Amino acid sequence: MSLFDSTPPGEARAARAPDRNRPLAERMRPERLEDYIGQEHILGPGKPLRRQIERDELSSIILWGPPGTGKTTLARIIAGASHCQFIPFSAVLAGIKEIKAVMADAERLRRLGSRTILFIDEIHRFNKAQQDAFLPYVERGDIILIGATTENPSFEVISALLSRSRVYALRSLTVPEIVALLERSLPLLSLRASAELLEQIAIYANGDARQAYNTLEAAAAASPDGVLGADAVQDAINRKTLLYDKGGEEHYNLISALHKSVRSSDVDAALYWLSRMLEAGEDRLYIARRLIRMAIEDISLADPRALEQAVAAMQAVHFLGIPEGDLALAQAAIYLSASPKSDAAYQAMNAIRADVEQTIAEPVPMNLRNAVTRLMKDFGYGQGYQHAHQFEDAVVDMECLPPSLAGRRYYRPTDRGLEKRIGERLEEIRRLKEKK
């Protein structure tokens, strides 16, 4: 028995009687490209993917985007427009055995002159060996692969498969786009709704059409008179679910946004991104560790108290927990954002690291060594050492770097915050050394 349903997706749905028990999101799937809302950056007139679909010249593609942006729907529309055999394939349920069975059937159909679109939902869940299994069939043209993923393909899809596919990034739907989708579904629910309530649902959905449909369906069930009620919408919304994956790309995107906002001294943006992470359930100690890093890397000695504030916030979070500790994180983010910025120490360490890697590891100069035995003293350990406290101003002209690096200046303080005073003190030390 073939693993393929030879009926195109559009015809299969048309032949099936409407099922009120099916989720609204499934019943509202458009079957034509003209009815598809959103993703104009790849599907607008003249765009590459639209031209491929209209000319029936599709190659293997990866659809990358957040949940509820229409990846599965777009794959089905493509299959219907191209008159290809279509098989949906779940990376959650399938293994190598299932892959090989599907590929054998696809190869047989190709020899009979029929093309096959294999749609793999959540392709990032396939391991390397499973993804490798598709390669020969993609190369020979046995299948047109359409993969869908919410994760960055650069990290989750093997390079060999990526090089044979075109990646299209789908964007979260806008509020007007989701409102338009909801308006279309009202007749199906025999429901009337105000524009304000539909907009409220769209904002709650956070760019996810499926979430919007589910919310509307739940609210409609609580509106028996056929008019969508505000209380029903509030009960259905309950609490916004933020797109966030502690181990995925969005985790790193948000912490990057927080770090760059602090570095840019944008206190409002820093608090916004911090709140996004807190609401999504991020580990508070992870945030505290990153704030400590910001204090060291971006503020440093321009305001040494920044590190004290960050460490204190970490201790407060550990001591108080949630939600009281969250205010300590917010306080630290405000302090760091408002602090004068300097990466002079960071740049100094980078320069030193480069010299350590690119120059020979010279022995420690004799004047800096401790002569803990008579033999070591006889060999010259400690010879020429100048004890700073025995000199005026506690400043000596002794060179402490290896001979090949003598005179190098790594730390170049800025003129911001306390670092300006540090720079002035270093210049004073250099003048005193010259007098010596």
126-148 pLDDT, tens digit per residue, is: 888 888 888 888 888 778 899 99
Q: What is the pTM of this model?
A: 0.63
State the pLDDT at residue 205: 87
pLDDT in tens, 268-286: 999 999 999 998 878 899 9
Residue extent(s) of CATH 3.40.50.300 domains in the chain: 9-169
Model pLDDT, residue 6: 44
Q: Does an H or E element contain 148, and which?
A: strand 144-149
| Residue 243: predicted pLDDT | 58
pLDDT value for 335: 96
Condensed to tens digits (0 to 9), the pLDDT of residues 48-103 reads 899 988 888 888 999 999 899 999 999 999 988 887 788 887 766 666 777 777 77
Report which of 50, 63, 69 is spatially closest to residue 168, judged by C-alpha positions.
Answer: 63
- pLDDT tens by residue, 237-246: 875 555 555 5
The answer to whether 143 and 118 are in contact (CB under 8 A) is: yes
Check residue 106 and give its pLDDT. 77
Percent over 90 (pLDDT), the chain: 45
Architecture, CATH, for domain 9-169: 3-Layer(aba) Sandwich (3.40)
Residue 162 has pLDDT above 80, yes or no: yes
Range ranked top by mean pLDDT from 234-238, 245-249, 293-297: 293-297
Across 338-351, average pLDDT:
94
- Residue of 283 and 327 predicted with greater confidence: 327
For 24-92, the three-class secondary structure string (H helix, E strand, C coil) is HHHHCCCCCHHHCCCCHHHHCCCCHHHHHHHHCCCCCEEEECCCCCCHHHHHHHHHHHHCCEEEEEECC
Q: Under CATH, to which class is 175-237 assigned?
A: mainly alpha
- Model confidence at 19, pLDDT cuts 50, 70, 90, reads low
Where do the CATH 1.10.8 domains begin and end in the chain? 175-237
Contacts 24+ apart (CB under 8 A), 302-307: 302/339, 302/340, 302/341, 302/342, 302/414, 302/416, 302/417, 302/418, 302/419, 303/339, 303/340, 303/417, 303/418, 304/418, 305/335, 306/335, 306/336, 306/339
Between 242 and 304, the more confident residue is 304
**Comma-separated ranges of CATH 1.10.3710.10 domains in the chain:** 367-435
pLDDT band at residue 151 under the 50/70/90 scheme: confident
For the segment 200-213, the average pLDDT, to the nearest whole number, is: 90
375-392 pLDDT, tens digit per residue, is: 888 888 999 999 989 888
Q: How much is the pLDDT for 55?
A: 87
pLDDT at 28 over 90: yes
Class of domain 367-435: mainly alpha
pLDDT at 14: 45
Specify the CATH architecture of the domain 249-338.
Answer: Up-down Bundle (1.20)
